Structure 1
Amino acid sequence: MPIKLEMLRTFSVVATQGTLAGAAAVLGRSPSAVSMMLAQLEDDIGAPLFETDRKSRLTPLGQLVLEESQRATDVFDRSVAAIRRHAMSAGGIVRIAAVPSATVALLPDVIEAFRKAHPDVRIEISDVDSAAVRARIQRDAADIGIVSAQPRDTPEGTRIRSDDLGIVCVEGGAIHLAHMNTQGMSGWDLLKREPLISNPLCELVDDPLVAEMRIASTLEARNTTAILSFVKRGFGASILPFDAVRNQPDGVEFFVPAHSTSQRELRKIRQDNGRMRGPVAAFWDLLKD
């Protein structure tokens, strides 16, 4: 008998629950039915998946099968969810994975323009960092990605816009006061006056001091809202692009170091072999400088 997805799902639940009774309750089946399906799976594989009949400990092969079972069921569940979302949306769907600053500063205008021509299309936005954006594009969990990159980096995707990276700090704090006293003529060395709240954008600053402080940092955040909240509470300062703090909250200051300017580019990416059609292609075309 060929291995079926339902066999893998049943095995995964049993392995997670540790007992037939617990798995039966989760699956809504009788323990005997669950046991029979496990036996069919083991017969087809030709080796035991559990060390004992109590199903509380996996064999090395069982551990491998568990990982593959979870991967297979996750892919299937995502596909089913995507199909259902498409069925619910009469005009189709566009899945966007974008860095937080793009979500705040770039996407609202694009979405407004897109909805005028495609009011029935469902738009899904994932607010994540650049590494997660790339991962979602690679595994086809997003149609379009927007990442942050340094202008000197190897070209990736298509450039949308660029802006300056700067220091964001609490109003009235040590960095803000030092910046005011130097009349704006200051560099990244001002960061030494407060703890650094690290985030992936720090990697885009070509300065050895920033690299050292990032390694030594004891607080890291990847969401722009969280970073600004931490800065406002006085936990330290951070590095963000101008677009991310265009409408910064009260009590927070932003400035670009005068002696060493670093820029961040926003680039749109997609799968190398991805063929965009309909709404996705229309949204892609609207993402421009």
Structure 2
Amino acid sequence: MHRLEFLDLHAFILVAELGTFHEAAQRLHLSQPALTRRIQKLEELLEVELLERTTRRTRLTPIGADFLPRARRMLEEYESSILGIRELVTHQKGTVTIACLPTAAFYFLPSVIRVFSEAWPGIRIRILDVSANEGLEKVINGEADFGINMISAQSSEVRFTPLLRDPFVLALRSDHPLASKKQIEWSDLEDVRLITVSRDSGNRTLLDNALSAEGIHLNSFYEVQHLSTSLGLVESGLGVAILPRMTMPGPDHDTLCSRDLPEPRIQRSIGLVRSNTHSLSSTAQLFIDLLLEHWVKESI
């Protein structure tokens, strides 16, 4: 029976990331046969096939793709463990990985990261700016220490701590005819071209559900994958968009502006997502404590 060796894990991660045994072997200063033996030993230990080998490229099997974030976490924990007790206790080194909605990353993180890095300059911060569903998955599988996400991205495997409510607004050009109206009505939007994000988006689901419940039907003319793209199309004059206020640029923007929407008020709840199954590292807990303290002060 083979023992799990961290050099085998490192070899697997490198082959998975580079896609070739040749490049991975060069990075590890191993011969290709020696690298192949390490991967085979890991596969025999796990009793699964992790990689599909072809003449040109190497791809992860579905099980290999599932194992990759776990392998990275195991390696990170191993590397942390050899930093020495003193460095860990005093938080001189370490890594905090945060799965964060792209729209929330700029809003929540810079000021907290600045204070955190001044206090603990040796701790690295990794931000995975991903969609709500991806962020939830990364917290559940342990690839991220915690997440900043929407309450709609829920699972029994995580717990949610709300931080703020983010209302949806109408995004439009400053020279659009609706920009001069004091109060927008849903009927105003029936004849304009609406730019929406795809139905896979948590924001789109929340919006569609709220409008459907009220019998409101809008002209969803353009569909994009990212909120930032929809803002670009609005700025180009192709239509208007209904977006969370957090995604909007500041009030001094040359071209874009926003207007409040009528009832029903549509808003998303943004907050902290933590795993119920993975224990937090002490460095991740430090960051969370600072984040929560910061937002308590902001809300006073």
Structure 1 and Structure 2 fold alike (TM over 0.5): yes
CA contact (8 A) 1:165 1:263 kept: yes
Per the TM alignment, residue 166 of structure 1 is displaced from its structure 2 partner at its CA by 1.1
**Structure 2 residues without counterparts, runs of 5 or longer:** none
Question: SS of the counterpart of 1:203?
Answer: helix
Name the CA shift for 1:17/1:271 in 2 (closer, same or farther; >3 Å).
Answer: closer
Q: Does 1:132 align with 2:134?
A: yes
Q: Distance in 1 between matches of 2:237 and 2:211?
A: 24
Residue by residue over 1:122-148, the C-alpha shift from the partner in whole angstroms, topping out at 9 and shown as x without a partner, is 352333332222122112233332212
- The residue type paired with residue 251 of structure 1 is T
Q: Distance in 2 between matches of 1:141 and 1:190?
A: 41
- The residue type paired with residue 158 of structure 1 is T
Q: How many residues align?
A: 271
CA contact (8 A) 2:100 2:129 kept: yes
More strand, by proportion: 2
Residue by residue over 1:220-267, the C-alpha shift from the partner in whole angstroms, topping out at 9 and shown as x without a partner, is 215x4x443343233443222223326153201211222432112112
Q: Does 1:283 align with 2:296?
A: no
- The residue type paired with residue 183 of structure 2 is G
TM-score scaled by length of structure 1: 0.66
Q: Distance in 2 between matches of 1:178 and 1:194?
A: 13
1:242 corresponding residue in structure 2: 245
Matches within 5 A, 1:234-273: 234-245=237-248, 247=250, 249-273=253-277
Q: Distance in 1 between matches of 2:250 and 2:159?
A: 28
2:185 corresponding residue in structure 1: 186
CA contact (8 A) 1:230 1:236 kept: yes
Residue by residue over 1:12-66, the C-alpha shift from the partner in whole angstroms, topping out at 9 and shown as x without a partner, is 959x548xx7876676444554576688789989999999xx9749xxxx96786
Name the CA shift for 1:26/1:211 in 2 (closer, same or farther; >3 Å).
Answer: farther
Residue by residue over 1:48-98, the C-alpha shift from the partner in whole angstroms, topping out at 9 and shown as x without a partner, is 9999xx9749xxxx96786677566545555567669987x6165443332
- The residue type paired with residue 166 of structure 2 is D
Q: For 1:167, which of 167, 170, 175 is the aligned residue?
A: 170
Runs of at least 4 residues off by over 6 Å: 35-51, 81-87, 209-212
Percent identity of equivalent pairs: 18
2:225 corresponding residue in structure 1: 220
Q: Does 1:144 align with 2:146?
A: yes
CA contact (8 A) 1:162 1:263 kept: yes
CA contact (8 A) 1:137 1:270 kept: yes
Name the CA shift for 1:178/1:132 in 2 (closer, same or farther; >3 Å).
Answer: same
Question: SS of the counterpart of 2:275?
Answer: coil
Q: For 1:98, which of 88, 100, 110 is the aligned residue?
A: 100
Per the TM alignment, residue 165 of structure 1 is displaced from its structure 2 partner at its CA by 0.6
Question: SS of the counterpart of 2:261?
Answer: coil
Larger of the two Rg values belongs to structure: 1
